[in-house]
Amino acid sequence: MSAVVEVSHLTKNFRSVTAVDDVSFTVEENMIYGLLGRNGAGKTTLMQLLTGQDFATRGDIRVFGENPVENAPVLQLVSFIKESQKYPDDFKPKHVLKSAPWFFPFWDADFAERLIDDFRLPLNRRIKKLSRGQLSSIGVIVGLASRAPLTFFDEPYLGLDAVARQIFYDRLLEDYGEHPRTVILSTHLIDEVSNLLEHVLVIDEGKIIVDQDADTLRGSATTVVGTRTAVDAFVADREVLHRDYVGGLASVTVGRLGQAERLEAADAGLELSPVSLQQLIVRKTNVSQKEFEQSA
Amino acid sequence: MTIQTEPTAPAASDRLGGSRIIAVLRLNFVNRFAVLGLPWMILGFIFVVNLAIWWIIFSSVSDPADRADVSEGLQYSGASFYIFVYMAVVGVQAIAMTFPFALGYSVTRRDFWLGTALTFVVLSALYSAGMTLLAAIEVWTNGWGFGGRMFTALYFGGTEAPWFERFFLFFAAFLFFFFVGAAIAAIYQRWRVNGMVVFTAVLTLALVAVVGVITLSNSWPAVGEWFAVNGPAGVVAWSLLPTAVSALAGFLLLRRATPKT
């Protein structure tokens, strides 16, 4: 395994705001990463730093072993699709799809054609007049067909309907199977992409708070449901991520449970249910929010 | 440059090579209508309107001396100024819209600027060639048959200038408008509204200072003389200086600019 991205002690300040705060992590080759976090957590800024579009205040970024800023040999291996991508006013989708192959050495024209059909993208309409979903589909098509060894998708499917999103997931997985590459996917629709992700990075308030294998992460929390007294007794000396009380019933999310602990819970008449990735991340980012407020 | 850790990298780094600058050039031309079609169409419309006016004047004035007088006056025609303003706008849009788009294609700022500068040179050459040709026809047809003047106005060398002088005048003027437009847009890309406010303020103060110095030292006649001595070709040659400064400034500004989301 080799690292495609290596980041150490990366910080980015905008005047008084620290968007990325002393972040260190690596991204391994040919895996699908989820970069998750709330709005304003620093996801887009982090991706802009990794693609040389913004400049770090401190710290070190290596992409394919080199600093990406103004580094043409490295950047041509990178495709960065963002929700906020601007297109020239007089452009039509055909102009985008005609010019993209000039910039991406691994561009697959047949694949692009197929995607245009899949997403029913009108090629000859002004981009300004496209719907939000059609606009997003241009980015998705370029991002997939460019087949860049390192592909970033930043909220790629704003406005895409459920069918189109499913097409995106399917095509991504299919093509990833045939042409392995490193994909970093940033999104709010965590549960939808949950099965796609192999590794999860969660960023909150500019810090990486989770950097874990997706399978490990999925098993890392369990919700315990039962009567209030029984649940409280069971979770008394465990780390609690979240509590809900309804009348005499309680639903409490705790960390990983071993086999013995599961039996113990069953004996106490408690029900155990897995926690979805989305719930887990909501819990994690909420906790750190509270801690932050307490320390402030 | 070597790439040590990534196995797919070496194969790809040779695939595009220096052609990224050419790719940016092609990107600037991808919508051909906007850069090559529309400007000529508008210029054609302006020409037709002017032709109609010349015809009206020509038909209503019959004395040859009066007609010569009209032609004399038309040497100050500004009918083709529009095309230079249009190209300044093309320069602005290259930075305001194509730059953020090209960065989305993982183009470096350096390659973008070089490819775009090349675009400006190519466009200037194409439009200068076309206008030089039109000027030649204008002379040859004695003002399109009505003594009209649009491409041989005084600032473009008048009717006497040789073709290469005309070409140079047009070429340098186009370059000036492209690069100044691009440089001003680059200030906006780099510092946004604050940059524009400061730039406008500094420019205004500088102009007032220049006017003040010339007026207080009674140098206006000397300024007029400078223009007369240098002639259109000389004045336009001097414009290459601010053009070059704009080209360099644009590059330095963009090198630290981040398109805002």
pLDDT tens digit sequence for B195-208: 999 999 999 999 99
Provide the residue ranges of all domains of chain A, joining segments of one domain with +: 3-216, 218-295
Average pLDDT score over residue span B53-59: 91
SS3 content of chain B, % helix, strand, coil (to 5): 80, 0, 20
Domain A218-295 belongs to what topology? Alpha-Beta Plaits (3.30.70)
The CATH homologous superfamily for domain A3-216 is P-loop containing nucleotide triphosphate hydrolases (3.40.50.300)
The least confident of A19-23, B46-50, B69-73, B150-154 is: B69-73
> Of A20, A102, A152, which to mutate for an interface test with B (greatest number of B Cβ within 10 Å)?
A102
Query: Chain A contacts of B1, Cβ < 8 Å?
Result: 66, 71, 73
Those residues whose C-beta lies under 8 Å from the C-beta of residue B168, and which sit 6 or more positions away, are B233, B236, B237
Q: How confident is the model at residue A1 (pLDDT cuts 50, 70, 90)?
A: low
pLDDT of A239 reads 84
Average pLDDT score over residue span B214-220: 95
This complex has an ipTM of 0.90
Share of residues in chain A with pLDDT > 90 (%): 72
| Whether pLDDT at B61 is above 80 | yes
Q: Give Cα A268 to chain centroid, integer Å.
A: 38
Q: A136, A159 in Cβ contact below 8 A?
A: yes
Q: How many CB pairs under 8 A join A and B?
A: 120
Written as six digits, the tokens of B251 are 């590059």
Provide the residue ranges of all domains of chain B, joining segments of one domain with +: 18-191+237-254
pLDDT of A39 reads 87
Q: How confident is the model at residue B174 (pLDDT cuts 50, 70, 90)?
A: very high
Instruction: Report yes or no: A95 at the B interface, CB cutoff 8 Å.
Output: yes
Q: What is the mean pLDDT of chain B?
A: 90
CA pair distance B80, B165, nearest whole angstrom = 17
Three-state secondary-structure class, residue B221: helix
Written as six digits, the tokens of A265 are 């819970």
pLDDT in tens, A44-88: 999 999 999 999 999 999 999 999 999 999 999 999 999 889 999
Q: How far does B108 lie from chain A, in Å, by closest CA? A: 5
| Whether pLDDT at B4 is above 50 | no
Of A48, A74, A91, Cβ closest to residue B31: A91
Those residues whose C-beta lies under 8 Å from the C-beta of residue A17, and which sit 6 or more positions away, are none
Q: Select from B97, B109, B30, B113 the least CA-distant residue to A102.
A: B30
pTM, rounded to two decimals: 0.91
pLDDT of B194 reads 95
pLDDT of A84 reads 86
pLDDT in tens, B135-167: 999 999 999 988 889 999 888 888 888 999 999
Q: How far does A45 lie from chain B, in Å, by closest CA? A: 10
Instruction: Report yes or no: A85 at the B interface, CB cutoff 8 Å.
Output: yes
